[in-house]
Amino acid sequence: MNLPLNIDFTGKTVVVTGAGGVLCGDMARAFAQAGAKVALLDLNEEAVKKVSEELTAEGFIAKGYKANVLEPEMLEEVHQAVLKDFGPCDILVNGAGGNNPRATTDNEYQHEAKEGQKTFFDLDASGVDFVFKLNFQGTLIPTQIFAKDMVEKKSGSILNISSMNAYTPLTKIPAYSGAKAAISNFTQWLATHFAGTGIRCNAIAPGFLVSNQNRALLFNEDGTPTARSEKILKGTPMNRFVDSEELLGGVFFLCDDKAASAITGVVLPIDAGFAAYSGV
Ligand code: NAD
């Protein structure tokens, strides 16, 4: 992987939750390549073990840990293991998050709802709870556990992952949109709360990325954009999708104590202009 900025994280302990996933797996790799000792946390133990073993084989310092970001006791055990393996946490990336089909409507507009579709009125309260809990509590709880190291050291950086839907909600996904708006808000709250301790807290808001999971939704078999894809591109001034590696410059910049020494409480859109454009 080509690193976006020449920032040396040697000696830093970086904890990345959701590191078994697409985006945060890449972030963990990038931090390891930039010299950090990287703890990869995920419910999916196999996924983080695979990435950490690859990194170790390449000569980088990384280890995978099974962790549920919603279980404080389990996270505290992992925290103790990370302290023993790598030392106190310097940088925490709260990456675990996502949506759930039970909290998603089939139709964009109620007046277009067809027989048999899951509408707003069919949304499942437990699905909505799941999404709010995973994204919000799944950021708050790991921060309670790992930011204690930073308070003691009087320095550290927390990076949360917000989304485009935090600015203006996207159709069909009311719970995920609300939960990510809560993440942007919480980023500002944490930045203020920790301002006197030497800890900075920021977020990135990734734009629309093409991944293996959504490729079929965005492109027809002949490679032309689907109707949904065309809508996204029309709303994106740079008229293209964002590559996952394009997130890394913002991640490195915000997490570096020198480059972003006076930056706390910001949510950085990395979105090819989507959030800036009103559509007119
Ligand atoms: P992903 O689904 O590939 O990865 C998420 C990871 O979180 C998975 O490995 C999963 O096992 C893990 N996870 C889920 N629940 C967990 C729990 N309770 N405890 C620990 N780990 C848990 O997702 P991604 O696309 O890499 O997204 C990463 C972050 O970026 C998420 O917060 C997501 O909401 C956000 N995001 C993604 C996009 C995108 O286009 N992919 C855009 C904006 C924001």
Q: Are 24 and 18 in contact (CB under 8 A)?
A: yes
In a domain, 232, yes or no: no
Q: CATH number for the domain including 138?
A: 3.40.50.720
Say what the pLDDT of residue 165 is.
96
Tell me how far the alpha carbon of residue 6 lies from the centroid of ligand 1, in angstroms: 26
Tell me how far the alpha carbon of residue 54 lies from the centroid of ligand 1, in angstroms: 20
Q: How many domains does the chain have?
A: 1
In a domain, 184, yes or no: yes
Q: How confident is the model at residue 17 (pLDDT cuts 50, 70, 90)?
A: very high
Largest CA distance in the chain: 59
| pLDDT(37) > 80 | yes
Say what the pLDDT of residue 230 is.
95
In a domain, 136, yes or no: yes
Q: Are 261 and 198 in contact (CB under 8 A)?
A: no
- Min mean pLDDT across 95-109, 153-167, 170-184, 206-220 is at 206-220
Which of the listed residues 17, 22, 23 should we mutate to test ligand 1's pocket, taking the one with most ligand atoms within 8 A of CB? 23
Which of the listed residues 16, 17, 24 should we mutate to test ligand 1's pocket, taking the one with most ligand atoms within 8 A of CB? 24
**Pairing label, strands 199-206, 13-17:** unpaired
pLDDT (tens digit per residue) in 158-210: 999 999 999 999 999 999 999 999 999 999 999 999 999 999 999 999 999 98
Annotate 51-98 with DSSP letters as a single string.
Answer: HHHHHHHTT-EEEEEE--TT-HHHHHHHHHHHHHHH-S-SEEEE----
| pLDDT(1) > 90 | no
Kindly state the percentage of the chain with pLDDT values over 90.
Answer: 92
Average pLDDT of the segment spanning 5-12: 95
Say what the pLDDT of residue 66 is.
98
User: Counting atoms of ligand 1 from 1, which one is nearest the CA of 98?
Assistant: 34
- Its domain, for residue 37, covers 13-207+242-272
In a domain, 97, yes or no: yes
Say what the pLDDT of residue 228 is.
86
Q: Residue 115 — left, alpha, or beta (φ > 0 → left; ψ -120 to 50 → alpha)? A: beta
Q: What angle do CA 201, 204, 206 make, to 5 degrees?
A: 165
Tokens encoding 5: 């900025």
| pLDDT(98) > 80 | yes
| pLDDT(213) > 80 | no
In a domain, 218, yes or no: no
**Per-chain mean pLDDT for the chain:** 96
In a domain, 58, yes or no: yes
Kindly state the percentage of the chain with pLDDT values over 70.
Answer: 100
**120/110 Cα distance (integer angstroms):** 8
In a domain, 221, yes or no: no
Say what the pLDDT of residue 2 is.
86
Say what the pLDDT of residue 262 is.
98
Q: Is 206 in the pocket of ligand 1 (CB under 6 A)?
A: yes
In a domain, 52, yes or no: yes
Say what the pLDDT of residue 217 is.
79
Say what the pLDDT of residue 212 is.
74
Q: Is the pTM of this model over 0.95?
A: yes
